[in-house]
Amino acid sequence: MRGPRRALGNDPTRHAYVPRRRSSGEDPHQLAASVRCDWTRFVEFAECALSHGLAALPDLERALGLVQGRPFGSRPLPWAEPHQQEMITRIIDVAHTIATHRTPPGPHHDLTAARHAITTGLSADDSAELLYRDWICIEHAAGNRPELHAAITRIQQINRALDCYLESETEQLTHALLRPTHAE
């Protein structure tokens, strides 16, 4: 533990970020309570937003701003797998919530922010069909047919690679939005 202790150093009050154990083998190695990670901050922002509703939409966006791809990467160690799944699930929920509130017309309407949320969520899990439905709705709201088709094609390709069918909600949405209108 000397290496991590030396690498992390001390906090401003000169307490080690990796404190020495108090007793021999029975006392586990731990990081100091002051050591925080982005995931802790993500959870704090997200939980704060849940209790404050739409007024805290910026907190959800701050939480999602901490996400940089798939947690623990594409090959997590076995101990990390349950944590990875929890993290991905929460990231998808936050991305979906942001897109849900940023897509419809109204005071929170911001398609750029909605797209950013979906892009970030898909970077954590590129097979999250819920986020593809959000992306499809965003592009429909923007009147952007090429990107609407790109989103549909992408989820179809992913599901083909996973050897599974589209969820019924996705099928219904794509059929409703791709149905020719009288103006076309």
Residue 28: what residue type?
A: P
Task: Read off the pLDDT of each residue in 145-167 and give the average, rounded to a whole number.
Answer: 96
pLDDT of the residue at 145: 95
- Distances in Å between the Cα of 99 and the Cα atoms of 10, 62, 116, 139, 182 are 41, 14, 9, 11, 29
pLDDT of the residue at 31: 78
Q: Which residue has the tokens 């509703």?
A: 53
pLDDT of the residue at 52: 84
* Separation CA 132–CA 159 (nearest Å): 11
pLDDT of the residue at 143: 95
pLDDT for 163 beyond 90: yes
pLDDT-derived band at 4 (thresholds 50, 70, 90) equals: confident
pLDDT for 28 beyond 80: no
pLDDT for 33 beyond 80: no
pLDDT of the residue at 77: 87
